[in-house]
Amino acid sequence: MIQTKTYRYKLNPSPSQQRSLVQWLGACRYVYNLSLSYKKTLWEQNKISIGKYEIQKELSAIAKQTPWLGCVNSQTLQEVTDRVFNAYEGFFKQGKGFPKFARKGQYQSFSFKQGVKLSATHVQLPKLGKVKYRNSQACTGTIKRATVRECADGWYVCLCVETDIEPLPTVQNSIGIDVGIKSLLVTSAGETIENPKHLYKAEKKLKRLQRLVSRKKKGSTNRKKAVKKLARQHQKVANTRFDFHHKLTTRLIRENQAIAVESLQIKNILANHHLAKSISDAGWYGLTQMLEYKAKWYGRKFEKVSARHTSQDCSACGYRNTELTLAVREWVCPGCGTTHDRDVNAARNIKLRAVGHTVTQLVELDSSSTLKQESPAL
């Protein structure tokens, strides 16, 4: 099955190549701000909505007359204008904020649409030549797009490829997953994965580095060094979380034929400032996204179900305990007398909603097979 996959490698550019990368990044940021300013001004002063291809045609003429723009690959400059119009589309169709100008340090990547080749030791980038990279994993498939990104610890290249991924062997297990803060997730089988709390573990060091930044004079070289140290520590936290999520989701996908999770409006939940930091540290959105695309890769079933009353409904008889508060972690069902762990009960309800069983069917299944012989297809 042909699927889209992304590989990420760290680049080891030479000093001259690193200067070129910095120059390209600055040129792309300039083009982004120029395109945004031009489109915005035309509309405000003349009520003219200029199209993407018209801007690209004018940019082509400007690049021929400007050496530091002309050295940048033409398709890379076209991709910059694509970003501008994607930002406008996000504003008008998806309710996102109005496009803003990119300040220095905010614009961190540029892309190639074609012409990228990969060998065992080098990656061939148009106009930049062969750049050494750290070959951390084998890349299979046809390269469709490449993005070069500047991070706190250096330069990276992300290769978007189309490759043939074989589905995993069929298994008989299916689970529901309830995400949380104290426990990162609890499954309908009763397994609890504790929250590693990557940010909280690094918080003491982050505070110390932040104090060092605040004590340095603005604009000084020492302040820039302190800012880089702080950024590297933040990136280390993000990388640690990312690695943990990858290993966890890969195991869940391999062990289960079908996975169901809550359909959470995480953006709305983050409005609670008492929990926003802990929720962001847990990384619920990234975790569910990984489960979704890995299920698609390997032929698994993935489904999101409504989160309403998953903790209040009894998974044995369907009784709804509306008096249940968040502080109560265990409760006894007044309808059937079953003792529930709050999170495990929620995970079982998530699984049952995905399967589509009624309460009557649930009771029949519980008496005959203790819910372990359900169909693996959700």
Catalytic residues: 178, 262, 343
- Taking alpha carbons only, the member of 163, 138, 187 closest to residue 291 is 187
| Closest residue by Cα to residue 24 from 73, 75, 65 | 73
Largest interatomic CA distance in the chain: 80
The two tokens of residue 246 are: 């990858």
**Cβ–Cβ under 8 Å, residues 296 and 302:** yes
Buried/exposed code over 118-128 (b: 16+ C-beta within 10 A; e: otherwise): beeebbebbeb
Q: Which of 108, 123, 151, 305 is nearest to 242 (CA)?
A: 151
Radius of gyration of the chain (CA): 26
Report the distance separating Cα 287 and Cα 272, nearest Å: 20
Q: Is 309 left (phi over 0), alpha (psi -120 to 50) or beta?
A: left
User: For the chain, what is the total number of helices (H) and then of strands (E)?
Assistant: 11, 14
* Cα 376 to Cα 355: distance, rounded to the nearest angstrom: 9
